[in-house]
């Protein structure tokens, strides 16, 4: 067929028909997928466990037993289901457990150190370095919020022990 002899309207109509027909094509994988579904289940995933980079291993050794710590964190305020007035909220945390020297702090020379990740509604976390001072959340809107906190190493790797993670809901 010589396409140059077809009118532009006929070409557009043929392309539209082709798109409609290919969009409604059934899957040939014998699954119960409907004709309108375009979601393909993921294939087999092969995960490989790789060793920690040597730089991290060296930093962990330099920290002594801190990396075997099992910090426990508690949200002191705001209390769960507390009513918040205003757009700023002071968060007070209590750190305890088997700390083995783990304490949040920021080295003035490097700007790094142990810290606590504070995240509201799964937004990007903020690093909290001084548990003796309240942490201030800003631009808090009226309504229910979820706060998540967990201790972290200077390179932002979180501790994985049982009691290291806390969350709180507040209206």
What pLDDT digit, counting tens, does each position of 17-72 carry? 444 544 444 444 444 444 455 666 778 888 899 998 999 999 999 989 998 899 99
Return the bridge partners of 127, or none: 117
Q: How far apart are the C-alpha atoms of 78 and 92, rounded to whole Å?
A: 7
- In which band, very low, low, confident or very high, does the pLDDT at 134 lie, cut at 50, 70 and 90? confident
Q: How far apart are the C-alpha atoms of 103 and 131, rounded to whole Å?
A: 9
3-class DSSP state for residue 62?
helix
Domain ranges of the chain: 54-170
Range 54-170 classified under CATH 3.30.1330.10:
no
The sign of the CA dihedral 151, 155, 157, 159 is negative
Q: Are the C-beta atoms of residues 128 and 134 closer than 8 Å to each other? A: no
Taking the whole predicted model, whether its pTM rises above 0.75 is answered as no
């Amino acid at each position: 067929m010589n396409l140059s002899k077809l009118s532009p309207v006929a070409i557009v109509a043929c392309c539209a028909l082709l798109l409609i027909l290919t969009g409604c094509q059934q899957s040939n994988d014998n699954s119960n997928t409907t004709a309108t579904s375009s979601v393909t289940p993921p294939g087999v995933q092969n995960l490989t466990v790789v060793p920690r980079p040597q730089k991290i291993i060296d930093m962990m050794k330099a920290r002594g037993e801190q990396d075997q710590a099992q910090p426990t964190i508690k949200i002191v305020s705001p209390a769960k289901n507390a009513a918040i007035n205003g757009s700023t909220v002071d968060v007070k945390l209590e750190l305890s457990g088997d700390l083995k020297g783990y304490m949040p702090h920021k080295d003035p020379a490097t700007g790094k150190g142990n810290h606590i990740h504070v995240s509201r509604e799964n937004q990007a976390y903020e690093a909290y370095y001084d548990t003796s001072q309240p942490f201030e959340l800003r631009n808090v809107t009226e309504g229910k919020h979820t706060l998540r906190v967990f201790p972290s190493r200077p390179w932002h790797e979180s501790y994985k022990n049982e009691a290291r993670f806390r969350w709180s809901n507040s209206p």
